[in-house]
Amino acid sequence: MLFIHNETTTQWGIQELNNPVIRFSKTKTIKTEEKERVVGMSIIALNRLFPNMEELKKAVAEAVQTEQPVRISDENTSVIFNRKAYQPFVTSRPKNYKDILLATLDIKGKRIIEVYGEKAFLLEYLLGQGEFSFIIALNSLESKYVVKLLDAKKQKVTVYTFGRTEEGVVLEKTVVDAEETDKDKELRLKKFRPARPTHFVLVHRNDKQSLLEKIDQEQYTVVEFEKKTFEDVIKSLKDQNVRAVTYYADAPFGKVEPDVFRKYKSITDKLRKQFQTVFKLHNDGKVAKMQF
């Protein structure tokens, strides 16, 4: 099932893309002396999760200053990650594997001091201008996702606990006294991405045979390169709007000789400048998350 919770008066965006998908989004406009730019986050969902589009748009528009999460789809849902960008995609399943929550918290005058999940994963987030927006997947009835906000003036901490029940996603909100250590806490947010190769796997010509022995070629697109073709290969992928790649290193994880390490690091450094998500696959099957 899919839910939305929005404490603010700023609506979530909803856009019908090419059949059969819908995009939910949150954006912010950042203005500077030189220019203004729009930053945001989004998630794509199959439109068959929403039998009535007009009712969906009405529900999203009315989901402002909510006290509890509002259900916007009764369908069974799960999350996969798309091929080109490795971004979350809400799809349907015979059973309800995950509940998905789109949330925006009003944090004006407060500071986020802690965020953590138990059997719950942060898929996307946007922080700024007095709002904290995020998308999470709650995997079981034991799942919970906790956000703590410190009001330094009042020396109070507001604790949001999102949980999953048989009826759906619910919020428990409490206010407790701040502790002395709260003021020193630093926020760390990390989006979840599965530790497995992305669809596009780059490999140097000399390492290709080793890679082909490790992966199912029907599941992945192997992209071969060598030194003189590297830039052209990268350009071709970017022209296809590919934003997530995996680089195969024919060496075991954590046991790379210094000269070999420098060779692989040179490649991954270049890839990290060109793509949003970069993983490294080693010949022992381990995947290192370089950037996402």
pLDDT by residue (tens digit) across 207-248?
A: 899 999 888 888 899 999 988 899 999 999 999 999 999 999
* Confidence (pTM): 0.86
3-state secondary structure of 23: strand
| Residue ranges of E strands in the chain | 2-6, 13-16, 21-31, 36-46, 70-73, 77-81, 88-92, 99-106, 111-118, 120-128, 131-138, 144-151, 156-165, 168-177, 200-204, 221-225, 244-249, 277-282, 287-291
Q: Give the number of other Cβ atoms within 10 Å of residue 83's Cβ.
A: 15
Note the pLDDT of residue 257: 62
pLDDT tens, residue order, the chain (292 aa): 899 999 999 999 999 887 788 999 998 887 777 778 888 889 999 888 988 889 999 999 999 999 999 999 998 888 988 888 888 989 988 876 789 999 999 999 999 999 999 999 999 999 988 999 999 999 888 999 999 999 999 999 999 999 999 888 999 999 999 888 888 888 888 888 888 889 999 998 988 999 998 888 888 999 999 888 999 999 999 999 999 999 998 877 766 666 666 777 788 888 888 998 888 888 888 888 776 6
Residues 75-101 pLDDT 10s? 888 898 888 888 898 998 887 678 999
Ranges of each domain in the chain: 2-184, 200-291
- DSSP annotation of 108 reads T
pLDDT of residue 285: 85
CA dihedral 56, 41, 17, 66 (to 10 degrees): 10
pLDDT of residue 4: 96
Alpha helices (runs of H) in the chain, residue ranges in sequence order: 53-62, 208-212, 230-239, 258-274
